[in-house]
Chain A
């Protein structure tokens, strides 16, 4: 069994600004990222030459931290490359993670020698986060939390379905065993899952999963149908989806019983906006929702560790 991958198995290079334009834009555009200036010279270098270039890791400083980055290619661009280049690209985009991880681990250890020893002792997070799989919303980064502080489940369109053993196991473990104080369901505007659900199209395997979002629409049909602007309607559906998933969390026996016993967890519904990077609190009235839900879904009696 190999231990940690040896460093620099293959050369890494910085992403060359503007050379390979990704179809839907790059994250953190290089045009305004001055740390990249040193690489502007590489702008017109052919792909293969860049791939073989030796990186100057000390220049790869973005947002105050160092990243080992590779040139990004879209799937279309990749398909037009010869097999040897495709293989190289796959190797590099893979190795980059290990490079970054190793550097991160070294930095943490240098800053706090006990960091990993303390972490390996166990976890006692205050929060359970149920968010979307979308790569642009890394929960810990956008909330400023470090390792050990937030238990996280992420799936397509942050859904909480009562027959889904996957998410139910997460809620169960977080509430009954880790005793989290807050459960946060966080959606985001521009959610591809919500959009896909509202598209009149057969999505195969995704149909049953996305059906839950169509059901949210049906529950709020009267309100949504009055919104004429398509974009606003879609934004509202994202919010209502979060509200309904919060209700689904509150319907679980784990949350109801824990709250009856100790007064926690509290369930929150939030939406993340890419436009300003801020979280919007939908201000769900937890106690009010709990009360209305328990009229029908009360599971506080005869606890049997169920969902």
Chain B
């Protein structure tokens, strides 16, 4: 796949190509970028290498403000994620969600981080047991995890203020790696068919 012996050489070369082609196509591109950013979307996604948000959403630099962690978790006591906020995105075949399907010992750090997802699995045991296989269960756990993250976000003081003052909206999505497509999740209450939170309906 790569013609470079050292993987670092490869991305340094990749960056040179990026800088050159961007400047050739638009000589002012970097000057404009250096003035500042005004993204409309905050993307909270999984750290998984297969979902580079700007690429899969066909966006340009400056459009998505990004936070990515293991299994796109938003925990109430996590100051890292709390320093960021507006959208929530997940993906199927998530290693984090799969790991949360069992109680295998992943070491203290990952055990603690995935504890809320595992609790979610226990809370919804009855529903999950009815599903045909572990793949389906992992998908459902990933969805429940997104819903839970959105619930936590909704209680965040900065989010509450932004919702009231400027109509900030929250969306849950799942990325299907096998299809390369994003799928919008219904709001838990099923109030809005298209999942778009509406300031008028709140």
CB within 8 Å of B: which residues of A? 1-5, 9, 22-29, 31-33, 62-68, 72, 74-75, 78-79, 83, 86-87, 90-91, 93-94, 97-98, 100-105, 108-109, 115-117, 119-120, 123, 125-127, 133-156, 159, 161, 164-170, 172-174, 176-177, 181-182, 190, 205-206, 208-209, 266, 268, 274-279, 281, 304-307
Question: Which of A138, A151, A281 makes the CB contact (< 8 A) with B53?
Answer: A138
Q: Nearest chain-B residue to A140 (Cβ)?
A: B52
Q: Is the interface of A mostly helix, strand, loop or mixed?
A: mixed
Query: A136-B37, A176-B107 are contacts. A205–B82 as well, Cβ < 8 Å?
Result: yes
Contacts of A208 in B (CB 8 A): 79
Q: Nearest chain-A residue to B80 (Cβ)?
A: A166
- Whether B3 is near chain A, meaning CB under 8 Å from some CB there, is no
Contact A139 B52 (CB under 8 A): yes
Contact A78 B166 (CB under 8 A): yes
Query: A153-B47, A167-B80, A205-B83 are contacts. A147–B55 as well, Cβ < 8 Å?
Result: yes
Could you list 21 examples of A-B contacts with CB < 8 Å? A1-B185, A27-B29, A27-B33, A27-B60, A63-B21, A67-B60, A97-B57, A105-B179, A105-B181, A120-B178, A125-B49, A141-B55, A153-B68, A154-B66, A155-B80, A168-B109, A169-B110, A182-B8, A209-B79, A277-B22, A307-B109
Query: A93-B40, A169-B110, A275-B31 known; 4 other A-B pairs, CB under 8 Å?
Result: A135-B62, A138-B55, A147-B49, A173-B70
Min CB distance A210 to B, Å, is: 9
Question: Which of A120, A153, A181, A276 makes the CB contact (< 8 A) with B30?
Answer: A276
Contact B185 A140 (CB under 8 A): no
Cα distance A125–B34 when bound, in Å? 30
Contacts of B30 in A (CB 8 A): 274-277
**Shortest 10 CB-CB contacts between residues of A and residues of B:** A144-B14, A305-B107, A24-B36, A274-B34, A138-B54, A100-B58, A27-B62, A277-B19, A105-B180, A140-B52
Cα distance A153–B78 when bound, in Å? 15
Contact A4 B181 (CB under 8 A): yes
Min CB distance B170 to A, Å, is: 11
**CB-CB contacts of B78-90 with A at 8 A, as 1s and 0s?**
1111111000000
Contacts of A278 in B (CB 8 A): 15-16, 19
Contacts of A141 in B (CB 8 A): 18, 52, 54-55, 61
Cα distance A25–B31 when bound, in Å? 10
Contact B69 A169 (CB under 8 A): yes
Query: A141-B55, A143-B14, A143-B18 are contacts. A165–B60 as well, Cβ < 8 Å?
Result: no
Min CB distance B153 to A, Å, is: 14
Contact A32 B56 (CB under 8 A): no
Contacts of A104 in B (CB 8 A): 55-58, 180
Contacts of A177 in B (CB 8 A): 95
- Whether B155 is near chain A, meaning CB under 8 Å from some CB there, is no
Q: Nearest chain-A residue to B81 (Cβ)?
A: A166
**CB-CB contacts of B4-33 with A at 8 A, as 1s and 0s?**
000110011111111101110111111111
Contact B83 A156 (CB under 8 A): yes
Contacts of A159 in B (CB 8 A): 80
- Which has the most chain B C-beta neighbours within 10 Å: A32, A68, A119? A119
Contact B58 A101 (CB under 8 A): yes
Contacts of A29 in B (CB 8 A): 26, 28-29, 32
Min CB distance B106 to A, Å, is: 7
Q: Nearest chain-B residue to A148 (Cβ)?
A: B50
Contacts of A140 in B (CB 8 A): 52, 54-55
Cα distance A278–B17 when bound, in Å? 10
Contact B180 A108 (CB under 8 A): yes
Cα distance A45–B183 when bound, in Å? 34
Q: Nearest chain-B residue to A120 (Cβ)?
A: B178
- Whether B102 is near chain A, meaning CB under 8 Å from some CB there, is no
Q: Nearest chain-A residue to B55 (Cβ)?
A: A140
Cα distance A51–B7 when bound, in Å? 45
Min CB distance B8 to A, Å, is: 6
Contacts of A139 in B (CB 8 A): 52
Contact B34 A135 (CB under 8 A): no
